[in-house]
């Protein structure tokens, strides 16, 4: 199987190790990976900020890049995947030609954990892990894509690791895209509450499917002086590869 990988802005600019882990993971399960030239932002930050013209321009570019390719489009981010699957068709609702293209792209798009569970059956493969791992369910992954069980199935299947439930795992961590920048005090309070629940589990690793949330949580963990590791789920799963 050949897929097309969308790297996302945060992975490309700040967390390349997550991109490398995603590639290692997919290749381990025999997936051939295409990485189309010219890919940039999906438009999510502009869309969240109410800049519809700019988000539409980014969406047009995304569609032009991936429209030239074939196969599933895999995105290691719930918010970016939701942008493509749920928001692109809405952006072009008044343009029949582009709406059809957007719907075709949306139909090919999968968030990483969705693809790993439903297509590659990675949760049945028995990867290895270590330590106590808990999971933060990011808002758009859970509420817009309806993805909740898939990441936990993957983590619960890790041989040698213990998965521990996170109380109120789907409660916002305070990132919220530009919400964090507009209302930093509220964002920090929500992040502190999230870290309280993480520390209550006794986990030594907290993971998730969105680097925006993980970045906000990591900052709050650091302010506490905690040694809890904050890692994207792709990195956690790839650690168990031989």
Its pTM stands at 0.94
pLDDT given for residue 176 in this prediction: 78
CB atoms near residue 16 (< 10 Å): 11
Contact 162, 95 (CB under 8 A): no
Q: Render pLDDT for 115-145 as a digit per residue (tens, 0 to 9).
A: 999 999 998 878 999 999 999 999 999 999 9
Cβ-count burial 164-197 (b if 16+ within 10 Å, e if not) = bebeebeebbbbbbebbeeeeeebbebbebbbeb
Task: Take residue 103 and report the two structure tokens written for it.
Answer: 């719907």
pLDDT given for residue 28 in this prediction: 95
Cα separation, 105 vs 103, in Å, equals 5
Q: Render pLDDT for 86-99 as a digit per residue (tens, 0 to 9).
A: 999 999 999 999 99
Segments of the chain scoring below 50 in pLDDT: none
pLDDT given for residue 178 in this prediction: 76
């Amino acid at each position: 199987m050949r897929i097309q990988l969308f790297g996302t802005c945060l992975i490309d600019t700040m967390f390349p190790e997550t991109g490398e882990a995603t590639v290692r993971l997919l290749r381990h399960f025999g997936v051939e990976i295409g990485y189309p030239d010219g890919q940039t932002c999906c438009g999510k930050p502009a869309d969240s900020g109410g800049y519809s013209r700019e988000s539409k321009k980014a969406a047009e570019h995304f569609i032009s890049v991936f429209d030239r390719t074939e196969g599933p489009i895999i995105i290691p981010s719930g918010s970016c995947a939701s942008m493509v699957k749920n928001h692109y068709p809405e952006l072009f609702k008044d343009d029949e030609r582009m709406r059809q293209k957007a719907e075709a792209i949306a139909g090919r798009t999968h968030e990483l954990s969705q693809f790993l569970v439903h297509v590659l059956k990675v949760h049945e493969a028995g990867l290895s892990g270590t330590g106590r791992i808990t999971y933060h369910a990011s808002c758009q992954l859970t509420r817009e894509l309806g993805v909740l069980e898939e990441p936990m199935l993957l983590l619960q299947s890790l041989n040698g690791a213990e998965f521990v439930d996170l109380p109120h795992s789907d409660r916002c961590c305070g990132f919220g895209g530009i919400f964090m920048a507009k209302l930093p005090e509220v964002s920090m309070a929500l992040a502190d509450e999230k870290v309280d629940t993480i520390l209550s589990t006794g986990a030594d690793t907290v993971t998730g499917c969105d680097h925006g949330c993980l970045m906000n949580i990591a900052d709050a963990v650091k302010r506490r002086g905690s040694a809890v590791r904050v890692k994207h789920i792709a990195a956690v799963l790839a650690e168990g590869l031989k």
